[in-house]
Structure 1
Amino acid sequence: MSTTTPHGWGRGRLLTILAGALGTGLAVLAGLGFFIWQVLTGDQPETVGQDTASLPIVLEEASLPQAGQVRRELIAEAQMLTVDDPRAYREGQVATSLVEPLAIPSPTGTGPLGIPTGYPQTPEGALAQLAAIDVAVIQGMSVPVTHEVYRSWSTGEADPAGWVMTGNVTDFLTAAQQSGQVKESGLVVTATPAAGQVKGTDGQDWVLACVLLELWARLVEEARVAYGHCEAMTWTGDRWVIDPTHPVSPAPSTWPGTDLAARAGWRPWVHNH
């Protein structure tokens, strides 16, 4: 499966963090918090603030095998920046330095379940496809739809119930007090890609792609957070799909455009028209 076992902050602790969000919008705010729960790891060597974080493992190209499964495993398992400050996914100091943006291609068609596709066989194309998949899952906010998306947009070697995004959807629906496995009509959730990064590649047909999404939810009140998601993407036929062969380390969820986001490797997302 393409997930790592989450060592979360704990639901009680996260609810305490979110307790300041009073009023009728609390359920949605809590849901957004649970949505990123899996990337807020609790097994940190020390408590860190918003201006400090444990450093990621730097992947040196010379130290990696030229190609093959071992290379892919090392790229997938390498630790990314870990952040222990609960404010990092919704606010932060705007970065003073410039970060080179990513030029993301536009889709040329639609694929299964109406998800945009037709992206080129490039690392940027893999990023764009993962973002399109994530947007469909988040805005649908439905367990059955998430299962369908995973079956249609992966190599089909893993149970959709174990996909990290399935867990995210169920945690959100639970925290937002929705009835059943599908969001109710009054709950609106949107996702917009804000940044991305290529963690590594293996030839032209395998990319470890990471997308930083800005999430927005509205029930009665509104809430916004950032969520980072990584998946291995493999080129199959004429499109990119998720490769669940190797567990993937979680991505840092940092507010776009901040110093911490830049340190985490996130590059602004711009469309290449």
Structure 2
Amino acid sequence: MLALLAAAGVSIVLVAGIAAVGLFRAVVTDSSSPTGTSTEVRATPEPATALDPETARDELSNRPMLSVDASAARPGPVSTLDPGPAIVLPAPTTLGPASVPSGFPATPEGALAQLAAINQVAFESGSLSGAREVIRAWALPGGPSTTSWSVVHAMATLFDSAGVSGGGSARLAIVLTPLMGLIKGTVGTDFVVPCVDFELDVTLDQTARGAVADCQRMVWSTDRWLIGPGAEPAQPPSVWPDTDLAISVGYRDLDRG
């Protein structure tokens, strides 16, 4: 999994080899970046309900999704196709641990909104300690850890290539915006695999942008959604939002109110 970002004359490899430690699909390029590689996956969004709950959760999480070329993450023409009704994301009602917005309802849309918030706060913290604080508070035992979470590894690779420490830099700014998403499936009422397609903007004197997509096992635990135990799900397609391809993948716009 490769991501090349050119900013201020510095070539930044955002993510490389994340599949070995987590399946966070991140592809960020500017117009000068090479095409990259594709992932052999296919989309099958129906719920997994025919198996026992634990097996069904694994089957749903591991089910491959649509294959797209890495170049699909680059900014592209806005589509005039109709993706269908937007997914209405509930608003947070409280601020949870690690300053992550929380209080989302026990619905698939609530799980998607919580995943988007977790990723936003982790990336926009601009530091490995900030990302680790997030996953420490938002993953159940057996889920991604402070050392295994794909976001931590992606950020470490970015910092290495940008020539900054894990503490980040005042020169480096990261903005992650959830724009499209889908519900891959559910098992019962307390397990959802939502997928979010983000726009990621990284600034190092200049700004470059691309698409980043993430799916996670979200489990309802007492009063909030948490990232559940097990391997991170199969990689979702990272596609520039609101293009023909993004709509054909099955992504829908997110109505964030």
Interval of TM-score (by shorter of Structure 1 and Structure 2): 0.7 to 0.9
Deviation per residue, 1:183-239 (Å, 9 max, x gap)? 111211111111111101011111001111111122211111110011010011110
- Structure 2 matches for 1:110-149, cutoff 5 A? 110-149=95-134
Query: Which deviates more, 88-97 or 112-121?
Result: 88-97
1:107/1:118 contact within 8 Å kept:
yes
Deviation per residue, 1:31-63 (Å, 9 max, x gap)? 44669996379xxxxxxx99x9966142555x7
TM-score by length of 1: 0.80
* Change in CA separation of 1:243 and 1:54 when aligned onto 2, cut-off 3 Å: same
Deviation per residue, 1:139-196 (Å, 9 max, x gap)? 1121122222111001032432111111111111111111x21111121111111111
- Structure 2 matches for 1:1-273, cutoff 5 A? 8-9=1-2, 21=6, 25-27=8-10, 30-32=12-14, 39=25, 56-61=42-47, 64-65=49-50, 68-86=53-71, 88-100=72-84, 101-158=86-143, 159-178=145-164, 180-272=165-257
* Change in CA separation of 1:35 and 1:137 when aligned onto 2, cut-off 3 Å: farther
Query: Which deviates more, 140-149 or 116-125?
Result: 140-149
Count of matched residue pairs: 243
**Structure 2 CA distance for aligned equivalents of residues 75 and 94 of structure 1:** 31
Offset at residue 93 of structure 1 (A): 3.7
1:79/1:249 contact within 8 Å kept:
yes
* Change in CA separation of 1:98 and 1:67 when aligned onto 2, cut-off 3 Å: farther
Partner AA of 2:185 in structure 1 = G
Identity in percent: 33
Higher share of residues assigned helix: 1
Q: Secondary structure at the match of 1:162?
A: coil
Offset at residue 98 of structure 1 (A): 0.4
**Structure 2 CA distance for aligned equivalents of residues 67 and 104 of structure 1:** 30
2:15/2:157 contact within 8 Å kept:
no
Which runs of 5 or more residues in structure 1 are unaligned?
Answer: 1-7, 42-48
Q: Secondary structure at the match of 2:118?
A: helix
* Change in CA separation of 1:121 and 1:202 when aligned onto 2, cut-off 3 Å: same
TM-score by length of 2: 0.85
Q: Secondary structure at the match of 1:253?
A: coil
Higher share of residues assigned strand: 2
Q: Secondary structure at the match of 1:71?
A: helix
Q: Secondary structure at the match of 2:67?
A: coil
**Structure 1 CA distance for aligned equivalents of residues 249 and 9 of structure 2:** 29
**Structure 2 CA distance for aligned equivalents of residues 55 and 92 of structure 1:** 22
Q: Secondary structure at the match of 1:160?
A: coil
**Structure 2 CA distance for aligned equivalents of residues 126 and 134 of structure 1:** 12
Q: Secondary structure at the match of 1:74?
A: helix
